[in-house]
Structures are given as C-alpha cells and as structure tokens.
C-alpha cells in the first residue's frame, strides 16, 4: 500500500485531527485515511456497474446482457 508523508502540519491542525480521531475511535492515521477517502471517492459517485444495471432496467425485457468476461484476450498480431 502506498505511503504519504505530510510535513509541516500546523500543531493546531494536528491537535484537531487527534481529537477527531479519538471521537471516531480511530488512530490519527486511520482518521486521515478516512478523510482522504471521503474527499476523493465520495459515496454518491457514479459506479459503472450500477449505471449499466440501471440502463438495462430502463430497457425493460430486452435481450441485452451485461457480463464481465474474464477470459484472457490474445494480443493482435500485425505480421
């Protein structure tokens, strides 16, 4: 898992993070991870699988089927 180093964090911000972490029952590191996760991956984001399922529901009783095929693909040859 990648690591981030944060330098020059103001003491007041560190105290606020520490208090917030304690209130949420987490370590400061877990609290910072949660804050970043919420900022870059909001709960209301569009997920492609959900969007495709909703699209299929809109089509009704159609013959379109969305599946995830995990079969390996052979690369194209241009020889």
Buried b (16+ CB within 10 A) or exposed e, 33-51: eeeeeeeeeeeeeeeeeee
The pLDDT assigned to 26 comes to 96
Domains in the chain, CATH or no CATH each:
11-59 (1.10.1220.10)
Residue 38 · residue 28 · CB < 8 Å: no
pLDDT above 80 for 46: no
* 3-class DSSP state of 51: helix
pLDDT above 80 for 29: yes
What number is the average pLDDT over the span 1-14?
Answer: 92
67 pLDDT band (50/70/90 cuts)? Answer: low
Number of C-alpha atoms within 13 angstroms, CB side, residue 11?
Answer: 0
pLDDT above 70 for 61: no
């Amino acid at each position: 898992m990648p690591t981030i180093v944060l330098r020059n964090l103001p003491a007041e911000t560190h105290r606020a993070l520490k208090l917030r972490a304690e209130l949420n029952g987490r370590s400061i590191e877990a609290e910072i991870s949660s804050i970043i996760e919420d900022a870059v991956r909001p709960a209301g984001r569009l997920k492609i699988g959900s969007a495709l399922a909703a699209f299929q529901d809109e089509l009704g009783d159609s013959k379109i089927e969305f599946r995830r095929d995990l079969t390996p693909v052979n690369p194209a040859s241009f020889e």
